[in-house]
Structure 1
Amino acid sequence: MYVCICNGVTDHQIREAAVNGVRTVAELTMRTGCGATCGSCLDMAGSLLDAHHARAEREFSLPILGLSQAA
């Protein structure tokens, strides 16, 4: 779906940008143009970035062992 109508940025492009390291809406705007014109899409774009990174942290987090557990 189109998130930024003004610049033709889709949710797929936002998720792809997140996979490629984009963490903030400001960086997303610089890389894709999302939100650069009228800004009405910035809340949704930010939510998509946050959801992607929250999901990635849950899926790829490793438990941290204390030194007493590692030996």
Structure 2
Amino acid sequence: MIVCVCRRISDHQIRQAAADGAVSLECLQFDLGVATQCGRCADCASKVLCDARAAQAPVAAHANVQVMRPQMA
């Protein structure tokens, strides 16, 4: 779906920006131009970004887990 009509930015593009490291609306504004004209999409864009980051959190949490093996004496 189109989130930002002024810049024609979709939820897919926002999710991709989140995957690429965007962490805030300001990042989206800088990278994609979201909410830089009329601003009506700011809430929706923030929600899509938040949801995308939340969906990545379990993956990121497991990516940093190290398996500890017992040491043999």
- Whether 1:61 and 2:61 are equivalent positions in the alignment is yes
Residue in 2 that maps onto 1:36: 36
Report Cα offsets for 1:5-60 as digits up to 9, x if no partner.
Answer: 00111111100101000010011011001100011001010001111111111233
The alignment's TM-score, normalised by the length of structure 1, stands at 0.82
Higher-Rg member (1/2): 2
What corresponds to 1:49 in structure 2?
49
Identity %: 31
The TM-score normalised by the length of structure 2 is: 0.80
Aligned equivalents of 2:3 and 2:48: distance in 1?
A: 10
Aligned length: 68
Give the Cα separation in 2 of the matches to 1:34 and 1:53: 17
**5+ residue gaps, structure 1:** none
Query: What CA RMSD, in Å, does the superposition of the two structures yield over aligned residues?
Result: 1.9
